[in-house]
Amino acid sequence: MKYRLFPALLLFVAMGFTLQQDDEAALQKRAQRLHDRIISIDTHTDTALELIKPDVDPEKVQAGFAKLRAGRVDCCFYPIFVGQGPLDEAAEANVFAATVDKMESIRAYILARPREAAIALTAKDIERNKKRHKLSLVMGLENAYPIGRELSRVKVFYELGTRIITLCHNYDNDVCDASRYPEKTWGGLSPFGKELVREMNRLGILVDCSHASTQTLQDCLEISTAPVICSHSCVYAIKDHPRNLTDDEIRAIAAKGGVIQVTTGRWALSWLPHAEVNIGTFCDHVEYIRRLVGVEYVGIGTDFDGGGGMNGLEDASKMKDITVELMRRGWTDRELALFWGGNFLRVMRAVENAKK
Ligand SMILES: [Zn+2]
């Protein structure tokens, strides 16, 4: 009896395994087909600074063109990150000149590859580039430090293609207070910071409150005539890190029509050791925001080449695996289309309309 059951059991296990393989192959296929139709956007990387280094091997960076294409990413943000320096006019003027140089260099890098990619200035540009099978790159600035207290510099960055400014990094600057710096110099936005937000609204530049303090975020939500976003931030209720967003902050961003772009660095995702943090952990943050405020208010900003990435998502070439994981969790194509780019494009259009 025992011997007759054994082959049957083997057959049963083998069938189960084949079914699972079929499921997996079907999911991969469904994900590929979905990415043909939708627009996927990564709203934060530090890749620009890597690509403009002399003798760079673009294959070695986390979000170079080839890896973005392999991962089915249609649009990637290439802001220039600026570390915080002393708050004096001379230092700010120097860093402004250096930042303009860097932005010109990354523009030249992209413009030298017109068959592969283009700089996108509007939501429409991103949609058009997708149809032409071109990667969209969006210019930006991470840390308003180089602006100093010279409002005219905002226009210079705008003319270079900047469509997003992350107001600060890890320290307070002339514009606002940062989340990780205890000083809280201004108690939110400085008087100049308020002028800056109005100028960004006027020009059509997105206000990015990743790295900003709670009061800075609240001030921006109050002053800005357009929705405000966090381009690379996670959920505080899952990991109580000062850079992450509390439920109240998430609700306030959503209430103004903005979007929370979840980041992929282990530092933001979990206190667990590296080996235990993976795409599932990232999706837990995404699903938390979906449950709290709705699927219309969540997206992704990887922070590749700036601390982003983890097990299973080592670089942009793996991005499609997020789609597969969310499909496993029952996400519909409509929800995935919103998460990958629909939500962010809504915000970008709102910023463009507020300008009008
Ligand atoms: Zn950052």
Rounded to whole angstroms, how far apart are CA atoms 26 and 48? 36
Average pLDDT across the chain, whole number: 95
Dist. CA 143 → ligand 1 center (Å):
9
Cβ atoms of 15 and 315 within 8 Å: the answer is no
Residue 13 has a pLDDT of: 66
Q: Give the distance (Å) from ligand 1 centre to CA of residue 42.
A: 13
Residue 1 has pLDDT above 90, yes or no: no
> Tell me, what's the pLDDT at 356?
75
CA of 146 to the centre of ligand 1 (A): 16
Check if the beta carbon of residue 322 is closer than 8 Å to that of residue 38: no
Instruction: Determine the distance separating the centroid of ligand 1 and the alpha carbon of 144, expressed in angstroms.
Output: 12
Q: Choose the CATH number for 41-355 among 3.20.20.140, 1.10.1500.10, 3.40.720.10, 3.20.20.150.
A: 3.20.20.140
- The percent of residues above 90 in pLDDT, for the chain, comes to 90
How far apart are alpha carbons 336 and 333 in whole angstroms?
5
pLDDT digits (tens, 9 = 90+) for 88-104: 999 999 999 999 999 99
pLDDT at site 16? 64
pLDDT, position 331: 98
Query: Could you give the CA distance from residue 77 to residue 300 in angstroms, rounded to a whole number?
Result: 11
Distance (Å) from CA 132 to ligand 1 centroid: 31
pLDDT above 90 for 18:
no
Cα separation, 46 vs 79, in Å, equals 7
- Cα 45 to middle of ligand 1, angstroms: 8
* C-alpha 168 – ligand 1 centre gap (Å): 9
> In this predicted model, what pLDDT tens digit does every residue of 274-300 receive, in sequence order?
999 999 999 999 999 999 999 999 999
Choice among 5-9, 62-66, 78-82, 244-248 with the minimum mean pLDDT: 5-9
Distance 240 CA to ligand 1 centre (A): 17
Q: Where are the domains of the chain?
A: 41-355
Spacing, Cα 180 to ligand 1 middle (Å): 12
Q: How far is the CA of 141 from the centre of ligand 1 (A)?
A: 10
DSSP states of 221-249 as a string?
HHH-SS-EEESS--BTTTS--TTSBPHHH
Report the pLDDT value the prediction gives residue 98, as an integer from 0 to 100: 98
pLDDT for 45 equals 98
For residue 303, report the distance from its CA to the centre of ligand 1, in Å: 7
- Distance (angstroms) between ligand 1 centre and the Cα of 12 equals 50
Which of 154, 251, 138 shows the shortest CA–CA distance to 196?
154
136 close to 116: Cβ distance less than 8 angstroms: no
How close is the Cα of 140 to the center of ligand 1, in Å? 12
Measured in Å, residue 206 CA sits from the centre of ligand 1 at 15
The tens digit of pLDDT for each residue in 152-180 reads 999 999 999 999 999 999 999 999 999 99
pLDDT at 325: 97
- Tell me the per-residue pLDDT of 107-150, one tens digit each, with 9 for 90 and over: 999 999 999 999 999 999 999 999 999 999 999 999 999 999 99
How does pLDDT run across 176-223, given as a tens digit for each residue? 999 998 889 999 999 999 999 999 999 999 999 999 999 999 999 999
Q: Which amino acid is at 313?
A: L
